[in-house]
């Protein structure tokens, strides 16, 4: 990809579904040559998890753009030999097998490191390569549940609420993996030595579950769900319903914003109640609930549009895509027949573009192998043997 900060970096991507593909998506968007390697069976079944143009889901198209596709049977020795040959000149390999699978296949970190000491090998799992749960299956809900995050999501007196954002998969399996990969890549470029990057999605969530930890250290206990200052106890950091059944995100948390908020609403008596707790906070919240319920969301959005006190409407995704802020920043792009998100990073000297649609299974097999030094006869032999 021209102009991308990771141009010249080659990534072998053995992952599928969400965490690994989103990690390699960001690498691809920033210019890395990501080669998506799929098996001869189902391949990445994100393709068919939902309807999309020509039977390929928007999910698959969105998280696999700007990559090339190679089909490879890693259960056969010829397929493993192809991968090892590709790994000799690769910078990064990303996989999401259960611990031990890559070693049993003969493509584990120590084998690849012997061939290419500079390679950065990232293994993304739910619980890491070691520990009593290393071999356990899991999903996002399990990771955030085990890490004490799910326990804190929801309203006072209610059950834990399942978040729509896959916190473990995306914070853990994608963004934490990218952090480790890029740090190891930087060091490999200066030292000549790559690293094994062991990413556990549950640990990534745990390590960012900060405020409950602070409360535990300071007061000896974690607040009940929905009763912490940032989860519902502070009237100045809550969601309030409007007359039309929509909501406003009201967050004038700091005193300076609270005072502007009170002045705008002509409620000077509220100023002294900044940071209230207990019964006083409950009473103030009830007053604010009545106030916001007196007008619809559009009224309040317009009312606060020019007032700098951290009050905004709660939008759905369709509305967010049309919001002037996200439009101005180009966060929605049309590509491959669908609407996709642009990367959440801007850099000088680089303009993001979807330069390649998500690959079909094995779409670029011959192209990739030719670039890696395979002869026409070798490629034909691999195809005839159903290795590629």
Do 23 and 139 belong together in one domain? yes
User: Choosing from 103, 139, 244, 308, which is the catalytic residue?
Assistant: 139
Q: How far apart are CA 69 and CA 35, in angstroms?
A: 6
Distance between CA 103 and CA 100 in Å, rounded? Answer: 5
Spatial neighbors of 105 by CB under 8 A, at least 6 apart, are 74, 75, 80
Tell whether 272 is covered by a domain: yes
Q: Is the pLDDT of residue 334 over 80?
A: yes
DSSP state of 351: -
Main-chain phi, psi angles of 362, to 5 degrees: 75, 15
322, part of any domain: no
Same domain, 143 and 272: no
- Asked whether residue 218 is assigned to any structural domain, the reply reads no
Asked whether residue 27 is assigned to any structural domain, the reply reads: yes
Confidence of residue 2 (pLDDT cuts 50, 70, 90): low
Q: Domain boundary residue among 313, 338, 366?
A: 313
Is 91 in the active site?
no
- Residue 1 confidence class, pLDDT cut points 50, 70, 90: very low
Burial 8-43 (b: 16+ CB within 10 A, else e): ebbbbbbbbbbbbbbbbbbbbbbbbbbbbbbbbeeb
CA distances from 288 to 11, 265, 276, 293 (A): 52, 10, 13, 8
User: Quick one: 283 and 254 in the same domain?
Assistant: yes
The domain that holds 268 is classified in CATH as 3.30.1540.10
List, as one string, the DSSP characters of 253-316: -SHHHHHHHHHHTT-GGGGGGTT--HHHHHHHHHHHHHHHTTS-HHHHHHHHTT--SSEEE---
Domain span including residue 287:
224-241+247-313
Beta strands 311-313 and 247-250 are antiparallel
In a domain, 351, yes or no: yes
Do residues 112 and 155 share a domain?
yes
Residue 1 within any structural domain of the chain:
no
Both 160 and 271 in one domain: the answer is: no
Mean pLDDT taken over the chain: 96
- Do 113 and 256 belong to one domain? no
Question: How many contiguous H segments (helices) and E segments (strands) does the chain have?
Answer: 17, 11
The torsion angles phi and psi of 309, rounded to 5 degrees, stand at -145, 20
For position 50, what pLDDT does the model report?
Answer: 81
- On whether both 188 and 290 belong to a single domain, the answer is no
Distance from the first to the final alpha carbon of the chain: 25
What integer pLDDT is reported at residue 12 of this predicted model?
98
User: Does residue 130 share a domain with residue 232?
Assistant: no
Longest C-alpha distance within the chain, in Å? 84
Residue 359 and residue 67 in contact, taking contact as beta carbons nearer than 8 Å: yes
Do 269 and 137 belong together in one domain?
A: no
Q: What is the DSSP letter of 115?
A: H
- Structurally, the chain folds into a number of domains equal to 2
- How far apart are the C-alpha atoms of 30 and 1, rounded to whole Å? 8
Q: In Å, what is the CA distance from 297 to each residue of 178, 239, 253, 270, 327? A: 38, 12, 21, 22, 21
Segment 123-169, tens digit of pLDDT: 999 999 999 999 999 999 999 999 999 999 999 999 999 999 999 99
Residue 26 designated active-site: no
Phi, psi of 69 (to 5 degrees): -115, 135
Give the integer Cα–Cα distance in Å for 119 and 194.
5
Higher pLDDT, 41 or 36: 36
Answer yes or no: is pLDDT of 211 > 70: yes
Q: Which residue in 13, 29, 169, 228 is the catalytic one? A: 169
Query: Rounded mean pLDDT of 208-229?
Result: 95
Q: Kindly state whether residue 232 falls inside one of the protein's structural domains.
A: yes
Compute the distance between CA of residue 229 and CA of residue 275 in angstroms, rounded to an integer.
Answer: 9
Per-residue pLDDT reduced to its tens digit, 77-125: 999 999 999 999 999 999 999 999 999 999 999 999 999 999 999 999 9
178 and 287 share one domain: no
**Is residue 3 in a domain?**
no
Of the candidates 359, 298, 374, the residue with the CA atom closest to the CA atom of residue 60: 359
pLDDT in tens, 164-192: 999 999 999 999 999 999 999 999 999 99
Give the per-residue pLDDT at 188.
Answer: 98
Q: What phi and psi, each to the nearest 5 degrees, are found at residue 92?
A: -140, 140
CA 343, CA 317: separation in Å to the nearest integer? 16
Does residue 255 sit in the same domain as residue 307?
Answer: yes
Pair (143, 70) in one structural domain: yes
Among the three residues 313, 338, 354, which one is the final residue of a domain in this structure? 313
CATH number of the domain within which 194 lies: 3.40.50.10540
């Amino acid at each position: 990809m021209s102009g991308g900060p990771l141009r010249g970096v080659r990534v072998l991507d053995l992952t599928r579904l969400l965490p690994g593909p989103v990690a390699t998506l960001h690498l691809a968007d920033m210019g890395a040559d990501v080669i998506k390697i799929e098996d001869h069976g189902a391949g990445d079944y994100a393709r068919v998890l939902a309807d999309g143009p020509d039977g390929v889901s928007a999910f698959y198209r969105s998280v696999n753009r700007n990559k090339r596709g190679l089909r490879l049977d890693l259960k056969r020795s010829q397929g493993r030999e192809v991968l090892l040959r590709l790994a000799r000149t690769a910078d990064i390999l990303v996989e999401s097998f259960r611990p031990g699978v890559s070693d049993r296949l003969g493509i584990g970190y120590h084998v690849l490191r012997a061939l290419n000491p500079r390679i950065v090998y990232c293994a993304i799992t739910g619980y890491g390569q070691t520990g009593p749960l290393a071999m356990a299956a899991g999903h996002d809900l399990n990771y955030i549940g085990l890490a004490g995050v799910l326990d804190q999501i929801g309203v006072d007196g209610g059950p834990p609420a399942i978040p729509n954002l896959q916190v473990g998969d995306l914070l853990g399996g994608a963004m934490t993996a990218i952090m480790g990969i890029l740090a190891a890549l930087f060091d490999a470029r200066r030292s000549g030595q790559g690293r094994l990057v062991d990413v556990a999605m549950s640990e990534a969530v745990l390590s960012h579950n900060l405020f409950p930890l602070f409360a535990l250290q300071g007061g000896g206990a974690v607040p009940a769900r929905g009763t912490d200052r940032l989860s519902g106890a502070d009237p100045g950091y809550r969601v309030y319903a409007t007359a039309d059944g929509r909501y406003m995100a009201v967050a004038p948390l700091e005193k300076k914003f609270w005072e502007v908020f009170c002045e705008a609403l002509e409620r000077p008596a509220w100023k002294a109640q900044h940071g209230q707790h207990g019964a006083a906070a409950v009473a103030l919240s009830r007053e604010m609930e009545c106030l916001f319920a007196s007008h619809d969301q559009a009224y309040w959005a317009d009312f606060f549009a020019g007032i700098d006190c951290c009050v905004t409407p709660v939008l759905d995704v369709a509305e967010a895509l049309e919001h002037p802020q996200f439009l101005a920043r180009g966060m929605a792009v049309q590509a491959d027949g669908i609407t996709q998100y642009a990367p959440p990073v801007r850099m000088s000297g680089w303009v993001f573009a979807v330069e390649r649609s998500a690959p079909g299974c094995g779409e670029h097999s011959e192209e990739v192998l030719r670039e890696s030094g395979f002869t026409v006869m070798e490629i034909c032999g691999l195809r005839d043997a159903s290795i590629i």
